[in-house]
Amino acid sequence: MTDLPVVRRPLEFLEGHHDRQLLICAALEHLAEEAGADDAGETARMVLDYFEREMPFHIADEEDDLFPLMMQRCHEDDGCEETVAMLEAEHESDRELHDRLVPSLRVLAGGHLIENHAVFARDAVSFSTLQRRHLAWENGAVLPLARQRLSEDDLVTMAEAMTRRRKVR
Ligand SMILES: [Fe+2]
Ligand SMILES: [Fe+2]
């Protein structure tokens, strides 16, 4: 195991991960558009690596650390409850699409063509479209609100939990 990060600034860490997610969306759209692209194997391996190593941590960072703290700290008229419920439901639909994408990505990663490219392309584009909308909410509404509502102690608690999560696995 290499590159285990020590999380010091948890909100910036989450935002940095969101930038990485945008690259994954672009990679999936590229794979969807161009069946048999020269770089399909390499691109599919990058997406699989992200799905396996990074995405589960990120979802746990949000669902187990960020969202519960926001629910405690937000004011009634912040609309936190609705936003968190929506984002958690989207994590769930992402998981379903993820499970459908992985077998095809493995085929591409092995240097082969997917039998039904149209189905893969539809799922890949759906995943990217949903993900971009999700990121717009998290970057545009959730993280700015977290910066206002979470205390320094909350951020330290989050940073410790996020670091621990990466060390345990
Ligand atoms: Fe996120
Ligand atoms: Fe999220």
- The predicted-structure confidence for 6-37, as pLDDT tens digits, reads as follows 899 999 999 999 999 999 999 999 999 998 88
Q: Is residue 69 a part of any domain in this protein?
A: yes
The answer to the question of residue 111 being in a domain is yes
Q: How far is CA 142 from CA 27, 42, 66, 124, 160, in A?
A: 25, 33, 9, 25, 20
Q: What is the pLDDT of residue 108?
A: 96
pTM of the model: 0.92
Residue 1 inside a domain? The answer is: no
Residue 169 pLDDT level (bands cut at 50, 70, 90): low
Give the C-alpha separation, 51 to 95, whole Å.
Answer: 10
Dig out the tokens for 76 from the structure. Answer: 């009634």
Ligand nearest to the backbone CA of 14: 1
Number of domains, the chain: 1
Residue 161: inside a domain, yes or no? Answer: yes
97 found inside a domain = yes
Q: How far is the CA of 158 from the centre of ligand 2 (A)?
A: 16
CA 1 – ligand 1 centroid, Å: 24
Distance 30 CA to ligand 2 centre (A): 22
pLDDT (tens digit, 9 = 90+) per residue, 88-114?
Answer: 999 999 999 999 999 999 999 999 999
Q: For position 152, which CATH number holds?
A: 1.20.120.520
Residue 34: domain span: 10-168
